[in-house]
Chain A
Amino acid sequence: MEKTSLSASAKKNILLLIEDNPLLTGMYKTAFEKKGIEVLVAHDGESGLSMVKERKPNLVLLDMLMPGIDGLTVLEQIKKDPRTAHTVVIMLTVVQDEEKQNRARELGATDYLMKPDLELHEIVERVFRHLAA
């Protein structure tokens, strides 16, 4: 019952996944598309940024550690640009680092998710909660 209500409320949502690991992008893409969300994938910070500007996603799932521009910089750029500043950004990471976590919140990240601590369905649920808000 819950599942159907989630998918119904997220019909027009676009989610941008900025993540360098193809294993994880494949997994998240499958999981979110199953819920009826359009998923865009960028494999690095730069292409991620341009996709944010072009496609104007509702929500960005942003990996902290990437080659090239790192997650915090991408977040900063999104929030600096008035055209994209309203975008919901959720940080994804494997590292428990309070400093970086605080910095992300300061820069305007909506949430901060530890990949290993959460099961896939938990992550999906968290994302849906933010989309609904």
Chain B
Amino acid sequence: MSLATSLIILSVAAITNIVLAVFVYKNNPQGATNRIFGVLGILVSLWLISLHIAQHPAFLSSTLFWTRLSIFIAAPMSMAFFLLAHTIPHTRFRLRRSQTFTMFMSTAIVMIMNISPYAFTGIAVEEGGLPRPIAGPGMLPFAILSTFFSMAAVYLLFKRSSKSRGAERAQFAFVTTGILLMLGLIILTIFVPVVFFNNASLVSLAPLYTLVFLGMTAYAILRHKLLDIRLLLARSLSFLLLLGIGASAYGLVFFVGAQRLLGIKVDTFIFVSAWALTTIAILTFQPMQARLRTLTNRIFFKEEYDSEKLLDALTRIMAESIDLDYLAAHILERVTTEMKISQAAFLIVKNHKIVDVKSRGYRDARFALSEELENLFHQYVAQDHHFIFDDLPEGVLKNIFRTFTISVAIPIRVEKDEVAILVLGVKSSGEIYSDKDIHVLDIFASQAGIAMQNAQSYAEIKKLSKELETRVEERTYQLKDAQERELAKAREVSRLKDEFVFIAAHELRTPVAAIRGFLELVAESSTHFPKDVRENLQAISLASGHLNQLIDDLLQIARSEAGTIKISVESANLLLIVTGVVEELTPLADERGITIAVDAHGALPNVLVDAQKVREIAANLISNAIKYNRDEGRIDVNIFRQGEAVVCEIRDAGYGIPKDQQEKIFKKFFRAHTEGTERVLGTGLGLFISRMLVEKMGGSIAFSSKEGFGTTFSFSFPFAKTGAQHNASASA
């Protein structure tokens, strides 16, 4: 392999290592891991350079110095390797003071030993002109130290890796993979060819292998700083291509152009400096750089999701529904699929408490209701926009993340109030969350607040309305129950009242019957009594008769109101009934010289009535007509047909009813008062009962009156549909 090629490889490896070292260090200058890595990267570069110079010396005499220098650098390098294995991925040194002291002291001693003439005693020149350093006894401490550090480092890495979880485990995986890759490559390309095929042509590739290890480790450290390994690879490749093209251009210009055309001899120095200048020129060639970048991006980021599209999809989901379950399920599905995340969950927050979990992929979603997460919430959520596991300092929060396999937590807020926390687990690919991921999630979180809040409110309203419904139902039931009870009570009260009236009336009847009976017995021998006693007895008789009537009426009303009044209707001739009543009452009319004239017109169909009740009604109305008439007065009873009904009209020429009393006459206990009727006895129940009976039989009752000129009452009943029609003639 030519010197130029090995030089190029060295340059790439050394420059990239230094760039990585600086980059990682700059990312977190306070972090122990970053510092160690920085030191390690620079040491590796320096070691590579010194080694190269030692193997390709400009002057043979300087070989010994460069060889000693390389081994001088190798000592702290192995220490740094050990330290890194011990510290990664933490931000603080974890060694005890005594351990650190011992480590540094032994390394310092070995370094001194290495630079001293005891490690390498001299230089022998081999046949091909290549210098070969001769190792002395001073090499022994270095051999022990470097072996110890390397073995310990590898052991630590594997042990800690097996104990780690989640994101940390992935970090260890990268570091150990880097080591294994480096060792594998060394064995495959250097050890095997040299030992078995005596071919050392690939030896100069060795510096590149350090790149593999340091690159993977840098990625492991920077994971949380969102440096995607693919980005690193893509960028590295684009640079390599750039350098390749630069080298080709250089070769063309210097070897073909300069040497052949101009006859200038090109030595190593000119070659290196010219090559470097070309590289710088190309590096600054922006359009090409951009072109190469897009090209490599296209290769390495082929499967990547489109941020815009993902955000669009999420916005659409939020616009689609207001149902919290639907929202959570669909958003989580979309995010986990696109970003290739194994687990994700929404922790629903209300009044600064986690009240519910909507999870996808987490084995036990109820973890979110644990006290630790409450802690997380109270101590941290209000502080920041997002929490990334790898960014967190060691402490309570980081432990919570570790325990529950949380890589990223993003509070979702409306103004300053948290409505939910979006929690994401590790990526199924083992990769880290990229800047882009976090950026997209941040944008999503800022948009999701209102939607999540609405969904929560909606869920609450739904729940509330359901509760309300049940409560309304309950109350309705209670109300109905109460109503029924009230009704039953009212019925009972009404029944008791009726019973009371009924019993009272019956109990009253017996003594009244006794009074009337004894009065009768006394009256039989009244001829012996003086006139005034006889008159008084007459008055008592009248009063007891009235009392009897009153009790009868009350009983009838009570029966009617209790619904126990019995009315059995049949086809009957109204004229016959009324004529009978008139005959019965004629003696009463005669007493005051009143004449009653009955007149019937035309053929009268039968009506459907209870004859006994009609008799009561007619008797009541006609006796009223007698009572409220003037002496020697006249009563006209007319019976005639009107439409489909038979009407009975009773007209008196009495005192009439005053206008202001007319509307009250059918009321219970109402009695009209006019001049000339003061001495009329009555219960005030007759008209009330009459109207009630008429209406119960489906008829109607009416009256007209003019004060001083008399009153006309009329009642009517509809025809009996199947009844026989009777012809009736006028009779007195």
- Is B566 a contact of A116 with CB atoms below 8 Å? no
- Is B517 a contact of A94 with CB atoms below 8 Å? no
- Is A120 a contact of B521 with CB atoms below 8 Å? yes
- Is A115 a contact of B520 with CB atoms below 8 Å? no
How far does the alpha carbon of A81 sit from the alpha carbon of B521 in the complex, in Å? 36
Q: Is B601 an interface residue (CB 8 A)?
A: no
User: Which residues does chain B contribute within 8 Å of A119, judged by CB atoms?
Assistant: 516-517, 520
- Is A115 a contact of B518 with CB atoms below 8 Å? no
- In the complex formed, the residue of B with least CB distance to A95 is B506
- Is A116 a contact of B520 with CB atoms below 8 Å? no
How far does the alpha carbon of A6 sit from the alpha carbon of B516 in the complex, in Å? 22
| Smallest CB separation, B502 vs chain A (Å) | 9
- Is A115 a contact of B510 with CB atoms below 8 Å? yes
- Is A116 a contact of B513 with CB atoms below 8 Å? yes
- Is B514 a contact of A27 with CB atoms below 8 Å? yes
Q: Which of B513, B521, B566 contacts A115 (CB 8 A)?
A: B513
How far does the alpha carbon of A28 sit from the alpha carbon of B524 in the complex, in Å? 15
How far does the alpha carbon of A28 sit from the alpha carbon of B520 in the complex, in Å? 11
How far does the alpha carbon of A121 sit from the alpha carbon of B521 in the complex, in Å? 9
Q: Is B230 an interface residue (CB 8 A)?
A: no
- In the complex formed, the residue of B with least CB distance to A27 is B517
- Is B513 a contact of A24 with CB atoms below 8 Å? yes
Q: Which of B510, B516, B551, B566 contacts A120 (CB 8 A)?
A: B516
Q: Is A34 an interface residue (CB 8 A)?
A: yes
| Smallest CB separation, B319 vs chain A (Å) | 80
CB-CB contacts below 8 Å: B496-525 with A = 506, 509-514, 516-518, 520-521, 524
- Is B510 a contact of A24 with CB atoms below 8 Å? yes
User: Which residues does chain A contribute within 8 Å of B548, judged by CB atoms?
Assistant: 116
- Is A121 a contact of B552 with CB atoms below 8 Å? no
- Is B506 a contact of A27 with CB atoms below 8 Å? no
Q: Is A30 an interface residue (CB 8 A)?
A: yes
Using C-beta atoms within 8 Å of the partner chain, give the interface range for chain A.
10 to 19
Q: B516, B548, B566 — which one has the most chain A CB atoms within 10 A of its CB? A: B516
Q: Which of A23, A30, A94 contacts B521 (CB 8 A)?
A: A30
How far does the alpha carbon of A21 sit from the alpha carbon of B510 in the complex, in Å? 8
Q: A30, A34, A95, A115 — which one has the most chain B CB atoms within 10 A of its CB? A: A115
User: Which residues does chain B contribute within 8 Å of A26, judged by CB atoms?
Assistant: 514
CB-CB contacts below 8 Å: A20-70 with B = 21, 23-24, 26-28, 30-31, 34
- Is A23 a contact of B516 with CB atoms below 8 Å? no
How far does the alpha carbon of A86 sit from the alpha carbon of B655 in the complex, in Å? 58
User: Which residues does chain B contribute within 8 Å of A31, judged by CB atoms?
Assistant: 517, 520-521
Q: Is A2 an interface residue (CB 8 A)?
A: no
- Is B521 a contact of A116 with CB atoms below 8 Å? no
User: Which residues does chain A contribute within 8 Å of B552, judged by CB atoms?
Assistant: 116
Q: Which of A23, A30, A34, A120 contacts B511 (CB 8 A)?
A: A23
- Is A27 a contact of B510 with CB atoms below 8 Å? no
User: Which residues does chain B contribute within 8 Å of A116, judged by CB atoms?
Assistant: 509, 512-513, 548, 551-552
Q: Is A106 an interface residue (CB 8 A)?
A: no
- Is A94 a contact of B520 with CB atoms below 8 Å? no
How far does the alpha carbon of A50 sit from the alpha carbon of B257 in the complex, in Å? 164
- Is B518 a contact of A27 with CB atoms below 8 Å? yes
- A21-B510, A115-B510, A116-B512 known; 14 new pairs, CB 8 Å cut-off, are A23-B510, A23-B511, A23-B514, A27-B518, A30-B518, A31-B521, A34-B524, A94-B513, A115-B509, A115-B513, A116-B509, A119-B516, A120-B516, A120-B521
